[in-house]
Each structure stands twice: as structure tokens, then as C-alpha cells.
Structure 1
Amino acid sequence: MDIIQIVGIGIVSTVLILILKEQKPVFAFLLSVFVGIGIFLFLIGKISSIIHVLENLALKTEINMIFLKTILKIIGIAYIAEFGAQIVRDAGQEAIASKIELAGKILIMVMAIPIITVIVETVLKLLPA
């Protein structure tokens, strides 16, 4: 069970961070960042298998791969922005964390424009003239 390992690592690192925070706050922050990156790297294989399944589904249903890749990029932007904002928030920089989240939202909108355009064009074609 991967989740048990992840939770175990999280709990142990949290205790270590709480102990380090008293003596060396910089090391506590670095440990927090490294544990977060470590958990992410641990999940890379799972993410890869999800992407592979979605690609196979898109091929079977003959969905344009550009749309799938765009959606996967949007999901990636959302996760990376959230991860970055949480790390910055852990360092006590709420204002910068908010800006990271804002940037993520704007980049998602930029990436979504082609998909939104196709949806609107499809709906307009379906409406009676």
C-alpha cells in the first residue's frame, strides 16, 4: 500500500520538521521541500501509467491527441502551481503563494482557449440558423 508509505514518510518528516524548526528553521524548511519533492517523485510512475491509459483511451475513441495533451498540460499546471504555492506558504510567504496560484489560473485559461473555441464552434453548428 503506497499510501501507507507516503503517510508514514509524511508523519516522520513532520515530527522531524517540528523538532528542527526550533533550532534550525532553514533546515526544517529544506526538509519540507525535499520530502514534498520525494513524494512527488515517488508518484511519477503512477502518473505515467495514468497518462498511458488516457492516451490509449483517446486513440480508441479517435479523440484528437492535441486535446488530450492540452488537458494533461492543464492538469500539470494546476498541480505544479498548487505544489509551489504550498511550499511558499510553508515558508510564510502568503502573498507570493497567492501570486503563484494566480499565475497558474491564468496559464490554465490560456491553455484552455483552443478547447473552449472548439466547443463554442461545435455548439454554434448545432444551433438552427
Structure 2
Amino acid sequence: MEQKLFSKLIIEFIERNYPEFIETIKHQDDGSFDCDLKSDSGIFSIWIATYNSEITIGIEDPTGQNNIHTHILCYEIEDLKSCTTELSKYIENIKADNLILYKDKDGKYDWIESSEFKNQDGSKKFSWKN
């Protein structure tokens, strides 16, 4: 799918479903965009980008790094519904604290399902809300 069309369709989805991201949208020269939303706790952000005609969603950790992310491939217009459904799952799981940011005992940040965190000895978790 052509980059500008892809980005336009994803922006339309975000406008309808997650308007809180809209004010941070930054359009790039290649037709892609990125946007972010600071957590209620103020500790980290969710970020979304559409580089290379795929959706990338991730967390910017408290140090400003955005290495924690995943790619949602969306090659054809027919894939758009499943791609936006997957994007929604990530956003909703982060905001509901089902997918959390944590810092391990070595100081490295990552994300994990909150139900699995109890096995992370010596780590600190960060929630969306507090």
C-alpha cells in the first residue's frame, strides 16, 4: 500500500477511536507520521508510527528511549481492519495496565503482560495510571 494513503487511513482510524493522539501527530517527508500519548502517571508514553507502510507501536521509557515496540504489518488495504484491531488491542492493554512497562534489576526497560510480572524478581513496574 502506498505510504501516504496508508498513513491517511491510520490517521482516520486514530481520529475516530483515539482522538487523544491527534494533537501530537507529526507528518514526515516520506508520507508517514508519528504520534504519542503520555501516560496518566507521566512516567512513559505510547507512541505510534507508520514508517514503511506498517504500524509500529511502542513505549517510550522514562529515559526517552523508544526501543520497546512491535510492528504490525499491513501490506494490502484488505489487511487494514485486522491491523487496526491489533493496534487497538495494544493501546487498550497498555491503558488498562494489562501490558506494563518494567525496569529489570539491571536497569533495562521492557514491556510484559502484567500477569507475568510477578515472576520478575528485583524489577520495578510502571503502570499507565500511577
TM-score, structure 1 normalization: 0.29
- Higher alpha-carbon Rg: 1
Bigger strand fraction:
2
TM-score, structure 2 normalization: 0.29
